[in-house]
Structure 1
């Protein structure tokens, strides 16, 4: 046997194996074809509400993503059925990254318990990209209500009939008060409105005693003396109103009723595309324009990864299911 020839063959095979391993390593490090080419055309971002706070936030984030990825990100408002209409369009869209959902988290966390029948499966039909921000509700009472703290309001509710306004059945303002009343063990009469703005106006006018509403919709009126702010619903104090305690600090440890915005894609969207979207959504959150909006609207950036965002949605769905069941809340 010619050992020199045999040794040369072995060396050649080792070199070939090393080259193949190097190619494999490089291939794993490089983005897949979907990510390398995405996006190649306009991305449609469905916002399932009328123009308002969510719409403004979605447009700010979409602009940053569009500028970075060099393709239009077009907002398409498709309101209806508490967000279900627009979300269903995304659930049934092609899973290619060109149709996205930018919604209130309640569409995916509250609606499954609120509606008898859902047009999509919240557990199977979406890939969660980001829960970019959370926000709290602020509890306020009219200037004529003789309560300056949350314990005082609870004591009043124990001895007399009281009412609270909301932006509608199943709205964040309704859900937050329902959660609190259950925690405090008291009752108040619910007066639903078609929108939070009208509900706040009637609390200022004395037609209704109290309301939970977004901080930006209540705090300016409280500073002007038209309302009395008692507490905020989140786990931390509001950056806009740091002097106002949380519900938890006011005698109800562990209480936390926060809401969020969520960016999602149809289930089955390529992982590489989802990674691009998650990366650019986070980059948008770090932009001055979006950070300024966060401060103005009292949003708290989360910094959550896609996996952590999906977990946040699942946890919120469980919490609100319990609240809705106990309070017997329906969409009607």
Structure 2
């Protein structure tokens, strides 16, 4: 009985210490590794972190570490102290796609990290060169079955590549993949007529479609785009099971004290409700998820399972 009392007392003291720690956290700057060069993810991360540092009264310092589909930056964080002072802002694909895409990973996505938040999702827009005589997804599928078409992407294993691979598998299509080093270049060549079609983020497609340089046909997510509500989803266009959404995620090294993880999750939620972040989401066509910390972890696990099936069936590799 005495031993049990000692164990209970030790546990209570440990919880009290963690609670006190979370009340003083952070008491110094927090480093946040962003796994891309300055661009959409970087802009979103900085907007959220700016709100967090206003409330928590400590700098959240961004370090951009791009490379290997996010693996380079994630590996740095995986090997950092689990004290809440090194965090990771990444594309979800580092944790949902890379484990199947890469033959060898420098870290274990399930054991080396604890998800804090998956605050937004975004879909891809399917677009074609305006000279392609199609006005709908049904037209596109029919033409692709009658004539061999090409599609561009931002590179092997990129969201644009994965979305088209999933769509081709769903629609029973066989098209030639033309990978680029970045989505911007791929969209430019579709506008120029060098490639027939592309899936890309709405912010890269919709302005060009409104200018008549592309023809947008549909979006890949389970909801219509707020920036172009006239566009149907792929699911509404004859493929009801189709849903290809991607996300941004904030994570910490595994072992980070739970009170700190919960505090950070709460701060992300508060940041998402500020006018500044809401406006950024509107302009970028992001959808706020409203997911809790446990739900964010479940979202990543579910997406990892879904994309593993697509990658294996489509024989996609990182090379």
List gaps (5 residues or longer) in structure 1.
Answer: 1-24
Deviation at 1:28, TM superposition (A): 8.3
- 1:115 and 1:291 mapped to 2: Cα distance? 35
Cα offsets for 1:214-257 (capped at 9, x unmatched)? 00100011011111100100001000000000000000002000
Q: Which residue of 2 aligns with 1:160?
A: 147
Q: Structure 2 residue aligned with 1:275, among 262, 273, 290?
A: 262
1:73 and 2:60 equivalent? yes
1:35 and 2:25 equivalent? no
Q: Structure 1 residue aligned with 2:303, among 288, 312, 316?
A: 316
Q: Which residue of 1 aligns with 2:110?
A: 123
Q: Which residue of 2 aligns with 1:216?
A: 203
Q: Structure 2 residue aligned with 1:287, among 274, 277, 297?
A: 274
Q: Secondary structure at the match of 1:284?
A: helix
Deviation at 1:31, TM superposition (A): 7.6
List gaps (5 residues or longer) in structure 2.
Answer: 1-11
Q: Which residue of 2 aligns with 1:18?
A: none
Q: Structure 2 residue aligned with 1:181, among 149, 168, 178?
A: 168
Aligned pairs for 1:1-332 (under 5 A) are 32-332=19-319
**In the alignment, is the contact (CA less than 8 A) between 2:155 and 2:181 conserved in 1?**
yes
- 2:215 and 2:267 mapped to 1: Cα distance? 40
Deviation at 1:37, TM superposition (A): 1.2
- 1:30 and 1:112 mapped to 2: Cα distance? 36
- 1:44 and 1:112 mapped to 2: Cα distance? 25
- 1:249 and 1:206 mapped to 2: Cα distance? 27
- 1:298 and 1:34 mapped to 2: Cα distance? 37
**In the alignment, is the contact (CA less than 8 A) between 2:151 and 2:197 conserved in 1?**
yes
Deviation at 1:36, TM superposition (A): 1.1
- 1:217 and 1:151 mapped to 2: Cα distance? 23
Cα offsets for 1:283-315 (capped at 9, x unmatched)? 000111111100000000001001000000000
- 1:218 and 1:78 mapped to 2: Cα distance? 27
Q: Which residue of 1 aligns with 2:8?
A: none
Aligned residue pairs, count: 308
* CA distance 1:31–1:85, shift in 2 (3 Å): closer
Q: Secondary structure at the match of 1:131?
A: strand
- 1:29 and 1:303 mapped to 2: Cα distance? 30
Q: Secondary structure at the match of 2:53?
A: helix
Q: What TM-score, normalized to structure 1?
A: 0.91
**In the alignment, is the contact (CA less than 8 A) between 2:128 and 2:214 conserved in 1?**
yes
**In the alignment, is the contact (CA less than 8 A) between 2:33 and 2:64 conserved in 1?**
yes
Greater radius of gyration (CA):
1
CA-based RMSD of the aligned residues comes to: 1.6
Cα offsets for 1:194-224 (capped at 9, x unmatched)? 1101110110111100000000100011011
- 1:29 and 1:77 mapped to 2: Cα distance? 36
- 1:311 and 1:298 mapped to 2: Cα distance? 23
**In the alignment, is the contact (CA less than 8 A) between 2:18 and 2:257 conserved in 1?**
no
